[in-house]
């Protein structure tokens, strides 16, 4: 790169009037929208960096060894015990049958990271110890929600170290740790000792200042400080400014680096959006963010969507991350007045495909501030259309076995058949019914059966590993926990793929009990299909791809059917995908940059990104076959949905906040629930209530097992709603409604109206009592003109007479809607 210094500012422009200017060191000196300057005078923006070094602060847990009474609270069967201690003379013990809870309270700072450590052991335990981490404001209310950490089994004989980090948000003043034992038969004893709570100081970010060189459509930037080099390109595209680059370590060491990009937007009085329609008015000296918490040992906050929105009188701005550049990131507007995104990267020479490096990409766009987050969402969907293409027919998800038992499933919206074992002939039946058939995949875990363990006490990790090692050459029988897989291949795949903790020990999820398999010990596994290890080429990803999906494809073809693709299960915290993998030989196969552990202070792979390695491979291969990918879960993080054709949640729980949040990730792709609520257990009025709620965001209902007679009894209700759901889904949800309603608490959403698609609006009364709702549609913005427009209530089949509007180009109406009810309005 030419490193000549340029004395004149460099400008990067978009076609929609956004102009960013840099000085010769790479600092952002101006950002204008239609010639209106948006940055605060005298401030600059740009890239900053900081290296995280593990350096715990002073002890916050008073009397953490429980050597004297006080400084903590207990109830029920908790007591100080002198018969067992990790150190000192005393520990805290609970007689599990007597129940009870243990509390400790500590002062906390906002926007900080803390580490809690304690030691635990058990005796004849039948129950699940749970630690609740609560962050509270000055009024004692939760900040977001509590973190619940389950210990699904204690696998070592003697004391086990338990260590977790957690983060705090703005407004946090104190914390509360609560520990108790729940579930199971509630038998045995649990001891705790040596509790420690310490703050983990974060690095102070320092600006990367280097050299800027103009290039076609933008500029190139290089800077280095403390052995960390940043190379970036800033480019103006028609609809956005793109910042792409690579972070390098130049020392050959492991590094934990926070890369920050920020802009000093003068946003006092602007709106920070926390949802499609929810926002906070920005006040100086306060922090505004959106956050979801993930993780098990390292709990961390991330942004729930890959885009954000701040909106002022003249412009809306959105910082965003392309979904195909996954990283651990969070966006916020800070108390110093900077619109900020921060990314956590772990740099190590062991990532052989990119030694000591991490690639990243950011985008900055502008949108119509009148529509806030809705306009930001529409902008993002338009910037990356391939991520959101609705390739498949919309419909509900059901267990494939229902095709063999129930007639007339099309009336219930059935379209996606999930094969979770069972007879391969069900695939042929689904093909004949015009449905998609999906093979169950869950390659982020592996199960050790405990059914024939021959041991009455707890199994340690070493015990289980040694037992599995006996079977690495057993290929004449199948694995009891995985269909059609030779036992030796399965064990080798597990040993090559299992996560390792910071001590290089295999990482366990816990002990769970299943109806079909009894007690199993679940391990976390890296599903990257490229892994080759000490036990050869078998790995957990290829095991699922070859023996689960591959065998379904072959079996279906032999019967004249089609196995269309894969349905992933458990893409979330239920299997602890927020856990950290420190297994260094896995780093060599990674295509996704590493993050780092606040708890340990070392680079690591995030479990979600290990899953992404597999899902990216599968998507590439599936598209070659014109197949599909679907998921149960995948809704709490912003990284998966571009690799999916549809998602479902387990159960059938219609509710607005979840529907809305997931639509913001999926756009017009199929969303719904999977099973869970057996229709035979629900009254007809409850089914109708749920189906009506599903109309609001075209959420497909869960379909679960029941006798043919029950399906026939409920059929008329579904036949009333399913055609309307299908029409809305084909029209496609659009985030910018061009419609408003009064009262403001009403929900209005738009479907269609673009590209020749039919136009619908849904209007929902979220109150409990009937209400008269007034609405207005900006017909001109939708390209609708003339006096011949008609509005009609789709469900009732009745025309809605428009009201005379005081504003030209507005189509006004009034509806009387019962409480908790959605009305579908068609416009022709």
pLDDT digits over 296-345, tens only?
Answer: 788 899 999 999 999 999 999 999 999 999 999 999 999 999 999 999 99
CA distance 572 to 648: 12
What average pLDDT does the segment 764-770 reach?
A: 94
What average pLDDT does the segment 689-695 reach?
A: 94
What average pLDDT does the segment 563-578 reach?
A: 91
| DSSP code of residue 544 | I
Mean pLDDT of the chain: 92
Between 519 and 390, the higher pLDDT residue? 390
Q: 731 by DSSP, 3-state: which?
A: helix
pLDDT digits over 122-131, tens only?
Answer: 888 888 899 9
Four-point Cα dihedral 619, 621, 623, 625, nearest 10: -140
pLDDT at 464: 84
Residue 769 burial by Cβ neighbours in a 10 Å radius (0-12, 13-18, 19+): exposed
pLDDT at 5: 38
pLDDT(722) > 90: yes
pLDDT at 135: 95
Asked whether 691 and 717 are in contact (CB, 8 A), the reply is yes
375-379, 668-672, 676-680, 691-695: least confident range? 676-680
pTM: 0.95
pLDDT(7) > 60: no
pLDDT digits over 391-413, tens only?
Answer: 999 999 988 788 888 899 999 99
pLDDT(155) > 60: no
83-87, 399-403, 535-539: least confident range? 399-403
pLDDT(257) > 90: yes
- In this structure, the strands spanning 595-596 and 603-606 are antiparallel
pLDDT at 762: 98
* 3-state helix vs strand vs coil in the chain, percent to 5: 20, 40, 40
Angle at 88 between CA 86 and CA 92, to 5 degrees: 60
CA distance 184 to 635: 29
pLDDT at 2: 34
pLDDT digits over 420-467, tens only?
Answer: 776 888 899 999 999 999 999 999 999 887 765 555 555 667 788 888
Q: 116 by DSSP, 3-state: which?
A: strand
Four-point Cα dihedral 569, 575, 576, 582, nearest 10: -90
Kindly indicate the confidence band of residue 4, based on its pLDDT and cuts at 50, 70 and 90: very low
Mind giving me the DSSP string for 439-496? Answer: EEE-TTEEEEE-TT---SSPPPHHHHHHHHHTTTT--SSB-TTSTT-BHHHHHHHHHH
pLDDT at 6: 38
């Amino acid at each position: 790169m030419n490193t000549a210094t340029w004395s004149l500012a460099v400008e990067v422009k978009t076609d929609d009037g956004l102009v960013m200017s840099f000085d010769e060191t790479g600092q952002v000196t101006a950002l204008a929208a239609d010639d209106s300057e948006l940055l605060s005078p005298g401030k600059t923006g740009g890239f900053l960096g900081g290296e995280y070094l593990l350096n715990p602060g002073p002890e916050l847990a008073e009397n953490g060894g429980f050597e004297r009474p006080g400084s903590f609270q207990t109830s029920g069967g908790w007591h100080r015990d002198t018969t067992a201690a990790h150190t000192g003379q005393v520990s805290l013990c609970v007689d599990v049958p007597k129940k009870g809870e243990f509390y400790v309270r500590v002062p906390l700072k906002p926007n900080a990271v803390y580490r809690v450590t304690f030691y635990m052991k058990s005796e004849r335990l039948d129950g699940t110890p749970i630690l609740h981490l609560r962050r509270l404001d000055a009024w004692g209310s939760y900040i977001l929600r509590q973190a619940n950490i389950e210990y699904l089994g204690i696998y070592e004989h003697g004391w086990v170290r338990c260590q977790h980090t957690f983060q705090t948000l703005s407004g946090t003043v104190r914390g509360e740790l609560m520990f108790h034992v729940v579930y199971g038969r509630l038998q045995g004893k649990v001891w705790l000792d040596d509790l420690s709570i310490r703050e983990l100081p974060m690095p102070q970010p320092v600006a990367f200042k280097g050299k800027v060189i103009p290039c076609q459509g933008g500029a190139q930037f290089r800077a280095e400080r403390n052995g960390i080099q940043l190379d970036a390109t800033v480019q103006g595209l028609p609809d956005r400014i793109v910042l792409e680059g690579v972070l390098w370590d130049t020392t050959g060491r492991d590094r934990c680096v926070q890369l920050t990009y920020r802009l000093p937007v003068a946003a006092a009085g602007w709106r920070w959006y926390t949802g499609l329609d929810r926002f906070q008015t920005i006040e100086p000296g306060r922090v505004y963010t959106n956050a979801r918490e993930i993780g098990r040992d390292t709990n961390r906050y991330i942004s729930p969507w890959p885009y954000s929105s701040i909106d002022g009188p003249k412009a809306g701005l959105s910082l965003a991350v392309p979904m195909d550049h996954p990283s651990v990131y969070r966006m916020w507007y800070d108390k110093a007045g900077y619109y900020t995104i921060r990314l956590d990267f772990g740099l190590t020479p062991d990532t052989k495909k990119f030694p000591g490096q991490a690639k990243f990409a950011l985008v900055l766009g502008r949108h119509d501030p009148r529509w806030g987050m809705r306009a930001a969402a529409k902008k993002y969907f338009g910037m990356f259309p391939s991520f959101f293409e609705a390739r498949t027919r919309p419909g509900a998800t059901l267990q494939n076995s229902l095709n063999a038992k129930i007639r007339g499933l099309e009336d219930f919206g059935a379209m996606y058949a999930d094969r979770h074992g069972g007879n391969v002939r069900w695939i042929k039946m689904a093909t004949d019914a015009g449905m998609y058939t999906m093979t169950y995949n869950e390659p982020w875990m592996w199960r050790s059966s405990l059914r024939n363990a021959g041991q009455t006490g707890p199994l340690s990790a070493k015990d289980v590993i040694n037992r599995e090692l006996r079977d690495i050459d057993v290929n004449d029988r199948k694995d009891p926990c995985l269909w059609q897989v030779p036992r030796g291949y399965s064990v080798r795949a597990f040993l090559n793929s299992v996560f390792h903790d910071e001590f290089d020990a295999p990482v366990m999820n816990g002990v769970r009990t299943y109806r079909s398999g009894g007690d199993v010990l679940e391990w976390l596994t890296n599903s990257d299909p490229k892994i080759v290890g000490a036990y050869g080429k078998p790995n957990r990803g290829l095991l699922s791809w070859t023996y689960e999906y591959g065998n379904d494809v072959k079996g279906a073809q032999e019967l004249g059917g089609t196995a269309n693709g894969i349905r992933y299960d458990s893409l979330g915290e239920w299997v602890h995908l927020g856990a950290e993998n420190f297994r260094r030989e896995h780093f060599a196969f990674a295509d996704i940059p590493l993050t780092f552990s606040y708890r340990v202070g070392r680079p690591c792979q995030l479990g979600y990104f290990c899953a992404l390695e597999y899902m990216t491979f599968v998507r590439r291969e599936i598209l070659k076959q014109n197949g599909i990918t679907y998921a149960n879960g995948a809704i709490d993080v912003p990284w998966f949905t571009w690799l999916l054709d549809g998602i479902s949640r387990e159960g059938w729980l219609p509710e607005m906040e979840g529907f809305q949040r997931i639509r913001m990730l999926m756009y017009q792709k199929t969303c719904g629930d999977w099973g869970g609520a057996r229709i035979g257990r629900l009254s007809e009025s409850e089914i109708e209530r749920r189906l009506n709620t599903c109309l609001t965001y075209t959420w497909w209902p869960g379909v679960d097992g029941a006798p043919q007679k029950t399906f026939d009894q409920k059929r008329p209700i579904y036949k009333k709603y399913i055609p309307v759901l299908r029409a809305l889904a084909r029209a496609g949800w659009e985030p910018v409604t061009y419609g408003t309603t009064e009262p403001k608490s009403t929900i209005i959403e738009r479907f269609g109206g673009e590209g020749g698609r039919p136009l619908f609006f849904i209007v929902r009364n979220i109150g409990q009592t009937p209400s008269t709702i007034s609405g207005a549609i900006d017909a001109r913005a939708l390209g609708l003109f003339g006096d011949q427009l008609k509005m009609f209530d789709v469900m009732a089949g009745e025309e809605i007479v428009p009201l005379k509007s005081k504003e030209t180009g507005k189509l006004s109406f009034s509806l009387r809607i019962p409480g908790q009810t959605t009305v579908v309005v068609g416009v022709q």
